Structure 1
Amino acid sequence: MPATFNHTIIAAKDRHESAALYRELLEASEAPSWGLFTNLQLGDGVLLQFAEPSVEIQMQHYAFLLDDELFDRAYTRLRDRGIEHWADPQMRRSGEINNEHGGRGVYFKDPAGHAVELITRPYV
């Protein structure tokens, strides 16, 4: 069997707040949570686990591939919530999306300061 991605832990200042944002934007399903984790299930079986570490959170980058319809809904939610967003990872093109790699993309920061990217086409 080839390797597949199963789960990742996303450090959060408030695991419930972060999970709620990802759930709303990605239209992810709630998954059973346990212990220190608030969990979400993505459509491809990947589990996102949100936890509040007792150390300083270092910024990470998370990119999600969405179909065009989900991207439209997520982008509308970003704007409706007043979440600052950019067309580029350098955060110079504020309030825009990009049209690169044959699709669209947008960057924003989650409540813990992680860089999140939503794209409609894979890079390769």
Structure 2
Amino acid sequence: MSVELNHTIVPARDPQASAHFLAGILGLSVDPPLAHFTPVTLANKVSLDYDRLDDFEPHHYAFMLGEQEFDAALARIQDRGIAHYGDPACREFGQVYHSKHIKGRRGTYFHDPDGHLMEILTPGGTDS
């Protein structure tokens, strides 16, 4: 069997709220609880298992979306008034980046309720 990522723990002060926030942006569902975790499973079957913690350092999570899914997620971010940025330092407010290295790749960054830096991006390789 090849090596694959199965799941990762996402620390959250309110796992239910944070899981629903991300699932809502990505157009996904929150899975039924698994022990004390609140999981969100991605299309490649990797699950983000939200776990309650009060003290943690924010992490970065990046999600590859198709062009239509990206546009839909970006629209949900904008409709909800969530600040998003064209750079990971969060200086390019309201921007979408266009990769200099991968033709057609675009992306944006935003924070979840726990301060994690979320990124959505497209695979690129197109003329968009």
TM-score normalised by L of structure 1:
0.91
Task: Please say if residues 9 and 48 of structure 1, whose CA atoms lie closer than 8 Å, have aligned partners that are also in contact.
Answer: yes
Separation (CA, whole Å) in 2 of partners of 1:98 and 1:108: 13
Report the alpha carbon displacement of residue 31 of structure 1 after superposing the two structures with TM: 2.1
Instruction: Tell me what 1:34 maps to.
Output: 34
State the SS of the aligned residue for 1:62: strand
- RMSD, matched Cα: 1.3
TM-score normalised by L of structure 2:
0.88
The letter for the 1-side match of 2:23 is R
What count of residue pairs does the alignment treat as equivalent? 121
Residues 41-94 of structure 1 show CA distances to partners (whole Å, capped at 9, x for unaligned) of 11111111111114x120100000000000000000001111111000111110
Instruction: Tell me what 1:88 maps to.
Output: 87
Q: Are 2:106 and 1:107 aligned?
A: no
Task: Please say if residues 28 and 43 of structure 1, whose CA atoms lie closer than 8 Å, have aligned partners that are also in contact.
Answer: no
Instruction: Tell me what 1:63 maps to.
Output: 62
Q: Which runs of 5+ in 1 are unaligned?
A: none
Q: Are 2:12 and 1:12 aligned?
A: yes
